[in-house]
A and B are shown apart, each in its own frame.
Chain A
Amino acid sequence: MNQRLSNNNDTSLTDEARSPPSTDTITNFTKVQHVAKQVVLLIRRLSTGAGFVSTGKYRMRFKTSLLKEPKHKELVSCVGWITADEVYSCSEDHQILKWNLLTSETSVVVKLQEDIYPVDMHWFPKTIAGKKQALAEIFALTSTDGKFHMMSKTGRIEKSVEAHRGAVLASRWNYDGTALITAGEDGQIKIWSKSGMLRSTLAQQGCPVYSVAWGPDSDRILYTFGRQLIIKPLQPSSKSLQWKAHDGIILKVDWNSVNDLILSGGEDCKYKVWDSYGRPLYSSSPHDYPITSVAWAPDGEVFAMGSFNTLRLCDKTGWSYALEKPNTGSVFSLAWSADGTQLAGACGNGQVIFAHIVEQRWEWKNFEITLTKRHTMQVRNVLNDAVDTLEFRDRVIKASLSHSHLVVATALQCLVYNTKNWNTPLILDLKEGTVSMILQAERHFLLVDGGGIYVYSYEGRLVCAPKFPGMRTDILNAQTVSLSNDTIAVRDKADEKVVHLFDAQTGKPIGDGKPLTHKMEVMEIALDQCGASNDRKIALIDKNNDLYLTSARRLGREQRMHKIGSMVHTMVWNDSANILCGIQDNQFTVWYYPSAVFVDKDLLPNTLFTKDASEFSSAPHILNYTGTQVTVRRADGSLVYGGVPPYPTMLHEYTGSARWEEALHLCHFAKDQALWACLAGMAMANRELNTAETAYAAIREVDKVQYIKFIKDLPSKESTLAHILLFSGQVQEAEATLLQAGLIYQAIQIHIDLFNWDRALELAVKHKTHVDTVLAHRQKFLQDFGKEETNKRFLQYSEGVEVDWEKIQSKIEMELAKERERAASSSVGSSMASRR
């Protein structure tokens, strides 16, 4: 290997050509070695049968803690977080306990009356649309006697409401805290106001409702109906959605507001993931015992599932990160803390189990970072096996590693590390505790918390905080926010067709302030990362899974959306060149030069690199595309890597710095049609006609070569520009350019050439010139095709005008001569000017 690498260094090509394969290969090779080591370790452990208690290293898992003796005497029915470190638990021994995780103290909040057996609890939501809630903290507690109670933090029953016959099995506040929903053993679902007044009975059915959840906008609810799930909108007129979800009674459901996915678990011992249309996304293999609880982490990236002596941490796509077998009895209820790092579970044997996520991993190039403990990270450089340990004051909530920087958000601070120096981080104090997302670009990074979106530079300066009316930051995720060096894109939640674009330097909306509106609901957006800010492109996937590309900076006029792919489920831009990769149907596709659609639509299919995606199995998700390597997460959770040839990146680099000669060399060297097509597009976009001619010739587009030749022979700058615009199909712009330069005949001529007769005549009449030219060409056209004139306007004008081809020819000659003369004089003028 080393031999080969050193040989490679001796090759005579330019540095750029040499470096990408070699460094990548080293990184990959070490990675292979590392994974191999892990596999060996794992096999050894499996074969010796030792060490089952601790699950695999370097894999996200729960670290659980249980007391030796349970604090409750009876089974614990429900738990709820009040702050990041305090949990309330209610048990059938009528006690409500408060657990403080910092001091590890447990205190009795209140001992309820003997006849109250708690079933479910839910804390009143803390933040309402970004504003901090100043109200007294209360929670709703339901009991088996058909009542629900509004309880204060101190355990005082503020109000008891007779709600159902039989037990009240579930209660949930909606996201803004304006309504409480309860579900009972009597099969009814009722909505209550905050003060406990009955608003309406939403549903009535013949069997108990075991669980209920609000939809992301609090406008729909999801509840169980035996083996079926029902989504019911609150508006009485709209239709509800019902489907059979399990083979046994469904015991718990949850609906995440960030990713809009539904979780269900039932007596058939399976848990399942659904989208909000009821389409199945994942179904687990059967467990040994019924699934008694499921809960989404607030950020929607992972969820937890509980069963008899079982606790599982799963990815949002359903596969399981880790399994714990604690001695808990059945886990009846699970609750995540607001920051999504800790979990509490109500256990059947009177225990309350606490768990936090550890061994989360981040990878970027040759760095591998693991969260070893709550407050500690380990950084490993796989190239030299150097290990650094990062210690934090508080719990790590979120982290992101990309573009040579590690950004870590803890409960109170945000720390920024450079990969060159792990010793001295830059520290920012956070106003609001829980950061829900970190996005990175080369120049700056973006933090999202309950209060807003903030862009910070890597030097720690707050660059901007973009806002738009109706912004809800609690539901933003990586699919709906995108960041590049100069632009921020955020998809609207109220109207999913709308994408808001902001300037990353000022935080102001781009252009005239009108957001980008697509004709369909937009599911995923991504900004390209390189190049000039004026060429910023945004790729978006809509509800039909069509992939569109459009310009993010629209200078005045409305830009068209170009469809560049269909059946696209996932896409990612490259980090070092504007190359887009995605999985289209069952093909792994790389758009070497997606902007080709703006220059020459026909080129696009030629610039694609496709590979069979069967190795990625079904529903893969592209994690990142760094350098020449694409990382894909398969539906079963395994990581798969795909290589993309390094040439297009290099080509982008050459053309970006206008090194056309080298670009041509590269294409000659690589002998790849797709590369030539890219070069053709890039050259045309940069009006580099000579290169474009060669490139088009290489991909055998004779007509285009001819046209380019014709353009090259054009006498004036304006008509050259117009024809280049015409080349990429922008007729209006071409016409405008010509008219502006006073080249009316040429403008008319392009319409004649396009058989755009009406417009040609209109121009001629408007400018009172060349009407006869238009008519003559029209006549000739009709003659050639043996047709009669039917157009009224042409009939009208042809009456008064006599067609004389000779006269017309001479007139055209005159126009062309005039243009040539003008061009010559202007070029002399400009050269004079430049000389001066």
Chain B
Amino acid sequence: MAKDPLAEAGLHFDELNKLRVLDPDVSQKTTELKEECKDFVDKIVQFQKIVGGLIEMVDELAKEAEKEKMKAIGTRNLLKSVAKQREAQQQQLQALIAEERMQLERYRIEYEALSKVEAEQNEFIDQFMLQK
């Protein structure tokens, strides 16, 4: 094939017979590449957006998890302290019960003493009536 002197000079004609400095093939490929690159960049951006959203979401989740964790710890502590509180309350109630018990014992003794007096007096009345 005869060498195209134009080609040698670096000039080409395209399909529309317009004079071109670049080989139309190359030019076409470049354009293709450019297109592809653009596509690629678009996709990357989109990807970034998605990943960003994801990260945000995960972050939020983490925060949430952290919060829940703290809550759990708090509740656990509270539970522990409630147990202690109950213990204190129980202690207080125990003290009051002991007090009431003592009072009950006093009443019991008083009751017994009075019953005894009653019995004595009944006996006395019986005797009194027999003797008359």
Contacts from A to B (Cβ < 8 Å): 4, 7-8, 11-13, 21-22, 24-25, 28-29, 31-32, 35-36, 38-39, 42-43, 45-46, 52, 55-56, 59, 287-288, 309-310, 319-320, 322-323, 325, 615, 629, 634, 636-643, 645-646, 669
Contacts and interface: CB of A to CB of B under 8 A. Distances in A.
B21 to A, nearest CB: 90
A797 to B, nearest CB: 64
Contacts of B122: 4, 25
B127 to A, nearest CB: 10
Contacts of A21: 121, 124-125, 128
B111 A36 contact: yes
A42 B100 contact: yes
B92 to A, nearest CB: 5
Contact of A35 (B95, B105, B107, B116): B107
Given A4-B125, A325-B95, A643 B120 contact: yes
22 contacts: A7-B129, A8-B125, A12-B132, A21-B121, A25-B121, A25-B122, A28-B117, A32-B115, A32-B118, A35-B111, A39-B104, A42-B100, A309-B92, A322-B99, A629-B117, A636-B102, A639-B110, A640-B109, A640-B110, A641-B113, A641-B114, A643-B117
Interface of B: 91-93, 95-97, 99-111, 113-118, 120-122, 124-125, 128-129, 131-132
B132 A636 contact: no
Given A8-B128, A638-B106, A323 B95 contact: yes
A14 to B, nearest CB: 12
A283 B115 CA distance: 31
Contacts of A8: 125, 128-129
A325 B96 contact: yes
B96 A32 contact: no
Report whether over half of chain A's contact residues are helix, strand or loop; otherwise say mixed.
mixed
A43 B121 contact: no
B87 to A, nearest CB: 11
Given A46-B101, A46-B104, 17 more contacts: A4-B122, A11-B129, A21-B125, A22-B125, A28-B117, A32-B118, A36-B111, A38-B107, A39-B107, A42-B103, A52-B93, A52-B97, A319-B102, A323-B99, A638-B110, A640-B109, A640-B110
A310 B104 contact: no
Contact of B106 (A309, A310, A636): A636
Contacts of B116: 641
A136 B115 CA distance: 59
A35 B118 CA distance: 13
A410 B15 CA distance: 128
Nearest to A628: B121
Contacts of A645: 124
B100 A46 contact: yes
Contacts of A52: 93, 96-97, 100
Contact of B109 (A11, A32, A323, A638): A638
A13 B132 contact: yes
A679 to B, nearest CB: 19
Contacts of A4: 122, 125
Contacts of B95: 287-288, 310, 323, 325
Nearest to A4: B125
Nearest to B121: A25
Contacts of B108: 39
Contact of B111 (A32, A45, A320): A32
Contact of A42 (B96, B107, B124, B125): B107
Closest 5 CB pairs of A and B: A638-B106, A638-B109, A640-B113, A32-B114, A323-B99
